[in-house]
Amino acid sequence: MSRAPVPVRGSVGAGMKRIACGWLAALILSGCVVRQGPEPVRVEGPPPPPPPPPARVVEPVDDAQPACGQRSTLEVRKRQQYEDHYGTMLTSDRAWLRTPGGSYRWGISNSGRLEMAYFAAYLKPGGKWDRFRARVYVDGGVKADMIFTVRAERYDGEVLKTLTVPPGGTRTVDVEVPGVKRLFIGSELRINHSHAEKLVIGEPEFYRCR
């Protein structure tokens, strides 16, 4: 007499349970999915404005010229209007008077390399003019700012004006000189300037309004 097969407990039932649990888990997870909407559209603003152009460098002027409808002038171009104090010459040679800031028709320059960068001269208005004007250029090879002094009558006379010129720079000086017969203009003597290939006092002149 044959025996009926004995069912294996837990084999089919456990498998069915596992399948059912898998489906249940899938259903639960599918219900928990957070549906994201479309990504927000980024609205770009206007492009940034271009940087402003560099500011125009305005050369500083020590004294503004008086408003003259007309004026009389004495251009310092003649030997009797000038006297060397140290290292200068009066010239109309454009090669000597050519600088990065401009080329002058006449002026005072050094006659050779200045080892101490000291530079000074006398001009002679004879007490007949109200103001003095010139442009002062300093060689770019000079190692420090040069301070020029305008004095009445002598190298140690009354200071009428001081003017600081950086290496490679050009500055304009316009100063009152009423009653001055002899005008000194020269640089400060300092050891840290090194040498100078070219210093120029461009187109010096005396004038008065009329």
Residue 27 banded pLDDT, cuts 50, 70, 90: very low
Q: Is the pLDDT of residue 74 over 80?
A: yes
Q: Show me where the domains of the chain are located.
A: 71-209
Contacts of 65 (CB under 8 A, 6+ apart): 131, 133, 174
d(CA 176, CA 172): 14
Residue 118: predicted pLDDT:
81
What's this model's pTM, rounded to 2 decimal places?
Answer: 0.67
Q: Which residues of 107-127 are buried (b: 16+ CB within 10 A; e: fewer)?
A: bbbbeeebeebbbbbbbbbee
Q: Comparing 54 with 159, which gets the higher pLDDT?
A: 159
Q: Is the pLDDT of residue 90 over 90?
A: yes
Amino acid residing at 147: I
CATH classification (class only), 71-209: mainly beta
Cα-Cα-Cα-Cα dihedral sign, residues 155, 157, 160, 163: positive
Cβ atoms of 132 and 123 closer than 8 Å: yes
Residue 98 banded pLDDT, cuts 50, 70, 90: very high
Question: Scanning the structure block, which residue is given the tokens 């603003």?
Answer: 45
What's the helix, strand, coil split of the chain in %, to 5? 15, 35, 50
Output the six-digit token pair for 199. 């210093």
